């Protein structure tokens, strides 16, 4: 199973143990829309909160170094975004994530 498939499954089922296993300790999540940068503990906490609801997930490309994914993400506040995500891998784990997001009108 690919890292992106594992990550998506762990987020959907709120499997904190799997997220801890596949996310590198030096992980950084850069959200270019807001400029925020989150670490491993922050992103796992956010994922476990249920605020991130992904739909129509498509893995566009993945190898041992990188994964590229597009999805529609709806947040608990009702906002939906089309999200392009680029994951980088190190030591068989996700070391970084950068996203670009386009708001979808309600």
Q: What is the pTM of this model?
A: 0.90
Residue 2 CA to residue 59 CA, distance in Å, equals 10
Domains held by the chain: number: 1
pLDDT of residue 10: 94
What digits encode the pLDDT tens for the residues 59-88?
999 999 999 999 999 998 989 999 999 999
Q: Which two tokens stand for residue 19?
A: 């997220």
| Residue-number span of the structural domain to which 90 is assigned | 3-104
Cα–Cα distance for residue pair 92/101, rounded to 1 Å: 26
> For the domain that residue 48 is a member of, what is the CATH number?
3.10.450.50
Q: Of the candidates 75, 84, 89, 78, which has an alpha carbon nearest to the alpha carbon of residue 102?
A: 84
23-31 and 53-62 beta bridge pairing: unpaired
């Amino acid at each position: 199973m690919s890292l992106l498939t594992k990550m998506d499954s762990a987020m959907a089922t709120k499997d904190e143990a799997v997220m801890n296993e596949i996310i590198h300790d030096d992980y950084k999540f850069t959200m270019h829309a807001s400029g925020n940068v989150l670490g491993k503990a922050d992103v796992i906490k956010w994922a476990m909160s249920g605020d991130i609801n992904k739909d129509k997930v498509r893995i566009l490309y993945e190898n041992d170094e990188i994964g590229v994914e597009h999805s529609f993400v709806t947040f608990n506040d009702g906002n939906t975004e089309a999200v392009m995500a680029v994951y980088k891998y190190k030591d068989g784990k996700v070391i970084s994530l950068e996203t670009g997001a386009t708001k979808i009108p309600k």
